[in-house]
Structure 1
């Protein structure tokens, strides 16, 4: 099967490349709205499945589509991608000095008619205190407007602000690679010898 990545995220592309997987990028505009009654990890998995459903038409029998969505949750609030610098600063002020959860939902949709496989992975991120100057520097120099929660763990702010993680670092980057790999093996995407 040919792997199709339905994501514009350079981080997801890099992680799949680092796994040694060949893939093709396929992009389409899909609304990222979700029912308000969903909470935390349910939102991420719902969005991954919703994106996959939008790609189902036209998916060839020998293709396997991978969609993913990452959200940041502080308490019960979902912190999506910030609309502008002011919203990014506001999010980072809320996150600093606290623990929050990062959820990535993944959907693997075979083009041969088999049912999609979806799952969600959770990581708890502990931020140390951040000064207003650090937040301003990060937003001005890194412009994290394409990142849920307004930060990237692999960016400057992650390097200076994240004290520890419980769970997968790669999940925070946008793709729980260990879970993706395990599902690809289970789905017999490729053979792995013992």
Structure 2
């Protein structure tokens, strides 16, 4: 079934408000696919890293799985025929993957590790339509200034770190921690707009 390019839209397989804001920023119309169950209830969406898995391989695998699952949902629910866009973001510090904190204590420990160091933010974007999946990857380097215990506790108490990879949101209060950024600001937020636009153009979208 062909994509309607007169009224182009995508299905966004993500609950992230930041990804919704970023898509709207570049004028992409979308419908959000709401998953009824938690990711761990669907084996294909389990975000647990595989033993010895490379950070790039990990983030691309998870993004692809999300797009593939979104495509299955489109078929099951007989939704409008349009591409499914999914993304995944993770942090890598000294070869170790850092995901979302499980609780406030974990968020505080993650921020202590990031303090005064440079880490990488990897965001993979996947777009799927019918049997075709296209992938793009954004890798950015972010250096935090040295953080003291009080400001870490204050930031964690704000609640902002809890749903974010690496325990921080660059678009929020944590912007004051960032001493240097090399790469994509929107990629660090969770959806690299340059790479996303290029992917959509492969499907005929004019942005």
TM-score normalised by length of structure 2: 0.86
Q: Which of 84, 100, 103 is matched with 2:119 structurally?
A: 100
Q: SS of the residue aligned with 2:123?
A: strand
- Partner residue in 2 for 1:168: 184
Q: What per-residue deviation string (whole Å, max 9, x for no partner) do you get for residues 22-50 of structure 1?
A: 10000223232232232112211110011
Tell me the distance in 2 between the aligned counterparts of 1:43 and 1:75. 16
1:114 shift after superposition: 4.0
Q: SS of the residue aligned with 2:54?
A: coil
- Partner residue in 1 for 2:162: 145
Q: Which of 121, 129, 136 is matched with 2:153 structurally?
A: 136
- Partner residue in 2 for 1:187: 203
- Partner residue in 2 for 1:155: 172
Superposed, 1:36-51 pairs within 5 Å as 36-51=51-66
1:102 shift after superposition: 0.2
Q: SS of the residue aligned with 1:56?
A: helix
Q: SS of the residue aligned with 1:105?
A: strand
Q: SS of the residue aligned with 2:87?
A: strand
- 4+ residue segments displaced more than 6 Å: none
- Partner residue in 1 for 2:143: 126
- Partner residue in 2 for 1:116: 133
Q: Is the 8 A contact 1:106 1:118 kept in 2?
A: yes
Q: Is the 8 A contact 2:136 2:199 kept in 1?
A: no
- 1:7 and 2:24 matched: no
- Partner residue in 2 for 1:80: 99
Two-structure CA RMSD over aligned residues (Å): 1.4
Number of matched pairs? 188
Structure 1, unaligned runs of 5 or more: none
- Partner residue in 2 for 1:19: 26
- Partner residue in 2 for 1:54: 69
Structure 2, unaligned runs of 5 or more: 4-8, 40-45
Tell me the distance in 2 between the aligned counterparts of 1:9 and 1:18. 14
More helix by share: 2
